[in-house]
Structure 1
């Protein structure tokens, strides 16, 4: 009887895992075929389907894992599928997420992966089930193809670390091969759960309550290997907020005074705006964005953290700031500029498949236009912090240099940090392998005349 009970338990467990796999297939199809953002598509599915925490965790792992390893999985599948265009896309994605489990998830039995994939295929199209079964069983029977056998170096790195060839070449050119490979490897390491403690005096208390560790970068940051902080009472009560460690370094650089007039020129979703507002008493912050739904995100963030009275949102293109605000309006300005987002790949792996090298110069043009506009509204002696969540010089150091070359009434303010390895020429330059955070760039300029 014990054996029968255990067998029933296995059958029930595999049935639940099948729900997670089927859900992952739906989400991946939305991402690949409809261009949905991974985090939005996943959150939408989880919100609208009743799943246990265990099933949610598996579904999340399957989505982000398959997405992170997409190029690698496609290379393996190419050895077993002559023409992927002859398959319905959902069949190909089902094979991809099944292969991900076989290759990278040690705790799931291979027979369960194959059986669930076949069952899912049968429910959609009886004929597809035979192909799915054949491909997966052939993969299990044969020796796994060796990525190291790829002769062209950039192609090998591309397949091994699931990065487009252009991005492999770009990172190697900018950082050298050894550091580039360290960056490649780090992007496949799962993101930490990171929070900012709103009241610094409560850091130790929150650390104990959450079982977290102190951030080595942010004095108000806590991190865990994994965690769902947004479900906690601390989050709902506005005592913590979810924010990457590198992002937490931005607001303190402005050294806000209680009565400052502040502009956050590219504000949504508002994580930095609410951090800035926490320093103000009689001062006020104007938060800009182009879209109403993004302004609502800022307002929701401000309401939860109790700083709504210090933040005014306004729908405006940051390149038009000088047309709406008079000269000498602001004491401090933050330009957290629109960028390629390459520093966010670990958390948002679909970014690496949706960018191209030529995007960088077009983004640089927008970044300079924003700086040129907002600088006309800063007071003499006022400072502007310019930040991005990317790691490339075209969007970072080159923007700073071009701005200063064209604006002799501004000078660079040198930034400092206790972790000296992130300080480069007076800027904070954080690459993903250093502290397993987002890649980030922070610089500062001051109006001197």
Structure 2
């Protein structure tokens, strides 16, 4: 009989593993601003019994999604906050409150398992505290939450800086954006048109009892009516389908690559937009993907290999704001998926609300402008550059493009004629929609030939 894993032993109580204690260990470093769900959760899932993995994900994502409300509740319920060395208890209490407040887990099971998790964490002294706090919340929930109703962070479940910045940027949309951020994002797929049409994919899914709907704006997108394990989706492992949000799928349409062209995809990880470009445009002369982080560059390679596209692209681990990796040959099309705050994809990464800080936006904006300026010199006259972010803040989006246009006399903004998003003075902004696409920004720039006008007016 195989030996149980160290993690399984550490979080076991009697003959079963305590998933609440394991979830608390995942979230505790996040509360200290260390790492993210994407860095801490995979290892825990690997050592978690298969039948409990869905619950572990639910506890971690659900708690982080409701974090600001839950933090406000713990401040009301605890006489004294937990010490720094007891951040695992803080995480566990948040998990317990989330179960009682927002999950379908029976209250008695949620309460008992959460209280017992204090023993697994070797903090038996906290058992009585947890039992009293969670039962008090059960008894006095309405009164406690009513007392917090005037706190914007509780009402809108976002940090104050985020609420202030968003309402300033988008006075007519900010409330809808905050509401959408707190919803679970749908599972949207991209049909690989090298192997099948979207209609064919929809029919095959329907035959397998998996209802899905075509996306409204992406010609290759389809959204499942109910999320499921992607490995159980017919055609996924064979590369006929990929997971990609509808907003992200619009990049390939905007790049509009043509056979025989040289293409650069900068900041390309995890490679969804790159793979979409390759799927829709066979016969490209040369395709280069640049990614700064080696681990993220490996994810690009993994995705290319799953789709059988690894021979059609070169993946470089390099800095897109540098010229050291460039071979000196200009590109016909450049896609910049710029590093950003990720504030348009909070539904998929709810820890962004907690981990991101308002004072980081200005630094990100400078990085974005540096990358854009550097790569512009690698674009052929007459070429096209598509600038994209998954941000909803104009400081990272239209303001970057406006600054760039003022600096580059050979850059011309090209109006995006589309039904999706909201037209801006430059580019188009998409907001996260409940049941629909994520928040995204796109701008298209054309490089004028030497004998053309350098007027930057919209055409």
TM-score exceeds 0.5: yes
Deviation at 1:275, TM superposition (A): 1.3
Alpha-carbon distance in structure 1 between the residues aligned to 2:68 and 2:247: 28
Q: Does 1:370 align with 2:371?
A: yes
Deviations for 1:365-402, whole angstroms, at most 9, x for unmatched residues? Answer: 11111111111111110000000000111110011111
Q: Is the 8 A contact 1:319 1:369 kept in 2?
A: yes
Alpha-carbon distance in structure 2 between the residues aligned to 1:423 and 1:383: 19
- TM value normalised by structure 2: 0.87
Quick one: structure 1 residues 404 and 301, their matched pair in 2 at CA, closer, same or farther if it must change by over 3 Å? same
- State the match for 2:185 in structure 1: 191
Deviation at 1:281, TM superposition (A): 1.1
Q: Is the 8 A contact 1:416 1:428 kept in 2?
A: no
Q: Is the 8 A contact 1:414 1:426 kept in 2?
A: yes
Q: Does 1:207 align with 2:202?
A: yes
Alpha-carbon distance in structure 2 between the residues aligned to 1:175 and 1:126: 48
- State the match for 2:429 in structure 1: 429
- State the match for 2:140 in structure 1: 142
Alpha-carbon distance in structure 1 between the residues aligned to 2:169 and 2:354: 20
Q: Is the 8 A contact 2:239 2:307 kept in 1?
A: yes
**Farther off after superposition, 353-362 or 258-267:** 353-362
Alpha-carbon distance in structure 1 between the residues aligned to 2:201 and 2:182: 29
- State the match for 1:9 in structure 2: none
Give aligned pairs, total. 427
Q: Does 1:122 align with 2:119?
A: yes
SS of the residue 2:367 aligns to: helix
Q: Does 1:219 align with 2:219?
A: yes
Alpha-carbon distance in structure 2 between the residues aligned to 1:306 and 1:151: 53
Quick one: structure 1 residues 426 and 368, their matched pair in 2 at CA, closer, same or farther if it must change by over 3 Å? closer
Deviation at 1:423, TM superposition (A): 3.5
Deviations for 1:300-348, whole angstroms, at most 9, x for unmatched residues? Answer: 111111211210011221111377342x611000111011111111111
Q: Is the 8 A contact 2:410 2:447 kept in 1?
A: yes
- State the match for 1:166 in structure 2: 161
Q: Is the 8 A contact 2:385 2:446 kept in 1?
A: yes
Alpha-carbon distance in structure 2 between the residues aligned to 1:62 and 1:143: 20
Q: Does 1:304 align with 2:306?
A: yes
Q: Is the 8 A contact 1:18 1:116 kept in 2?
A: no
Deviations for 1:243-279, whole angstroms, at most 9, x for unmatched residues? Answer: 1110000111111111110011211111111112221
Deviation at 1:141, TM superposition (A): 2.2
Deviation at 1:426, TM superposition (A): 5.6
- Higher helix proportion (structure 1 or 2): 1
Deviations for 1:161-204, whole angstroms, at most 9, x for unmatched residues? Answer: 3211000011111111x521111111111110111111174312
SS of the residue 1:342 aligns to: coil
Q: Is the 8 A contact 1:187 1:346 kept in 2?
A: yes
Alpha-carbon distance in structure 2 between the residues aligned to 1:150 and 1:375: 50
Q: Is the 8 A contact 1:322 1:373 kept in 2?
A: no
Deviation at 1:415, TM superposition (A): 1.1
SS of the residue 2:351 aligns to: helix
- TM value normalised by structure 1: 0.89
SS of the residue 2:409 aligns to: coil
Quick one: structure 1 residues 151 and 304, their matched pair in 2 at CA, closer, same or farther if it must change by over 3 Å? closer
Alpha-carbon distance in structure 1 between the residues aligned to 2:238 and 2:147: 54
- State the match for 1:256 in structure 2: 257
- State the match for 2:270 in structure 1: 269
- State the match for 1:72 in structure 2: 69
Alpha-carbon distance in structure 1 between the residues aligned to 2:141 and 2:283: 66
Deviations for 1:197-226, whole angstroms, at most 9, x for unmatched residues? Answer: 111743122223142111112110111231
SS of the residue 1:235 aligns to: coil
- State the match for 1:417 in structure 2: 418
Quick one: structure 1 residues 40 and 62, their matched pair in 2 at CA, closer, same or farther if it must change by over 3 Å? same
Deviation at 1:26, TM superposition (A): 2.5
**Farther off after superposition, 390-399 or 115-124:** 115-124
| Root-mean-square deviation over aligned CA pairs | 2.3
- State the match for 1:48 in structure 2: 47
Structure 1 unaligned segments of length 5 or more: list them.
1-13
Structure 2 unaligned segments of length 5 or more: list them.
1-12, 450-459
Alpha-carbon distance in structure 1 between the residues aligned to 2:96 and 2:176: 28
Residue correspondence of structure 1 range 382-397 to structure 2 within 5 A: 382-397=383-398
